[in-house]
Amino acid sequence: MAYVHPDAKLGKDVTIEAFAFIDRDTEIGDGTFIMSGANIRNGARIGKNCRIFPGAVIAGIPQDLKFKGEDSIAIVGDNTTVRESATINRGTASKGYTKVGNNCLLMAYSHVAHDCEVEDYVILGNASQLAGEVEVDHHAILSGGTLVHQFTRIGAHVMIQGGTRLGKDIPPFIIAGREPVCYSGVNLIGLRRSGYTTEKINEIQEIYRMVYQAGFNFTDAINKIEKEFEETPEMRQIVDFVKGSPRGIVRGYMG
């Protein structure tokens, strides 16, 4: 039989299979399916219509030596799937929470560490690993085996090639890969699937052409883009990301 702590809060039509574990101070939304062997720990906040597969652990304590047992939570949004043996750790005193958004897919053996923020429609491929306080914006796809250094930021509509190691920020709308990681073009397929027009994609390509033709002098490139390009949401999103990147953005291909 499953174990469900009497203080757990379960919504309507929640299914809990045999041998699942539901701890105290947990909340599970309507229609969510907790499969056999899943482990929902203290501090889990799981939304509606999620699917939690065998071996997954939600709200395990952080793998951070600074963690001193403080109260914190792990949030999983609506319609999100957490596959076999994937793990989402609770937050620490830094933020107090770890967040995975709505309509996400965390494939088998992926890991979301303490204080990460993963926005809506993100896909983490098999065995992808996010270190502490990583931020992943909406519609990003991290292919299998991606390793992300702590505090790294990944922009919206990004595609990361499988097996990539990330130590720099990845600005929105691009593909990043190779070894060492570098800019590999605009994510054309992803943008088309999300409804971006050819005109808008061309605008994004022109902005990145200017960014990466500047070599390592991204500051001059961004100043020039702000002067020469029309103010659009996409232009502003790219410019603000680059200007606000404390780690610096990924470099262009040097091969």
| Active site amino acids | 114-115, 132
Nearest Cα neighbor of 120 from 157, 160, 172 is: 157
Q: Cβ distance 81 to 100 under 8 Å?
A: no
Ramachandran angles phi, psi of 167, nearest 5°: -130, -5
| Beta strands 182-186; 174-177: pairing state | antiparallel
Nearest Cα neighbor of 169 from 152, 185, 181 is: 152
Dist. CA 198–CA 178, nearest whole Å: 27
Nearest Cα neighbor of 103 from 123, 125, 126, 128 is: 123
Show the tokens assigned to 80: 């999100």
